[in-house]
Amino acid sequence: MIEQFHIYLLQDGKSENTIKGYAQSVNGFLKWFDESKGVEFQRLHKENVKEYISFLKTIKQSKPKTINTKLNALVKFNEFLVESKVQLDMVLTKKDYVKVQQQYASLAKVELKEVEKFRQLILDSGNKRNYAIVTLLSYSGLRISEALNLKMNDFNLTSRELIVQEGKGEKSRTVFINDKVKTAIQGWLKERKEKGIEHDFLFVSNRNKPIDRTTINKLFNDFSKKIGNEITPHDMRHFFCSHAINSGLSVHEVANQAGHSNIHTTLLYTNPSKEELINKMNQL
């Protein structure tokens, strides 16, 4: 059934990362069902879903956003079951989602000084490729998957434009880069040429293959220890959005750079940081 669900999601145009996430969530539900019910799964029941939500809250101590991510996958699974005629009705909708306390503080948790220290440590390590990747993530707003999927014909350093493929490449957006990103990419291109690297992808491994995101996650993990603060590739994206708005870019300009489908996501970055909020509270 999971294999058929995978095919269904592919036909629906979902990206591999989205499909992987959905599959993990549905497998988690099916594992819980098997262990708690002891019978073969036949179809989704709202009663079972409610029990699963309770299990996630009380036993797993999952946060509302985590629970809703799992429920989002189950909604899609429900749609698949209906279209496959395994069942006739939708028993789960977005009304069943767990209420999430409104985020007020900005999503960004990394400050400019930390980003610059992080970039400098990687530059000092002598790896031009990694320096270009980290600089790109910090100052363009790209997702890690978007950065690693850039090809040699997707950018123009003269016009300072990147053509970023979104999802499975069915959509794209134009992203503009600053001097820092341009210089970092130029440094990597020079090294690529010196090494005689010829590949369609901009960023390749020492084995001349596209870089896997796990390699970059390990890079961030290793250098985070030197910073003394856990920093992820996604934190750099948060930093960019917050820093860009603070530096004068409009909400719509940042939304375009980051590829936000909902402007409300971008608006979160106009909120003060937690530290700023605490400082304001201390003034009372």
- Is the pLDDT at 87 greater than 70? The verdict is yes
Q: Is 80 exceeded by the pLDDT of residue 254?
A: yes
**pLDDT at residue 259 in the model:** 93
Residue appearing with tokens 């910073």: 227
Question: What pTM was estimated for this model as a whole?
Answer: 0.64
pLDDT beyond 90 at 94 = no
The residue type at 179: D
Give the confidence band of 65 by pLDDT, cuts at 50, 70, 90: confident
pLDDT computed for residue 99 by the predictor: 79
Burial class (CB in 10 A: 0-12, 13-18, 19+), 139: buried
Q: Which residues are catalytic?
A: 143, 168, 234, 237, 260, 269
| Token pair recorded at residue 136 | 């790109």
Q: What is the DSSP letter of 157?
A: T
Q: Shortest CA distance to 23 belongs to which of 66, 60, 69, 55? A: 69
pLDDT at residue 181, rounded to an integer: 97
Regarding predicted confidence, which is higher, 278 or 206? 206
Q: pLDDT band for position 102 (50/70/90)?
A: low
DSSP conformational letter for 143: -
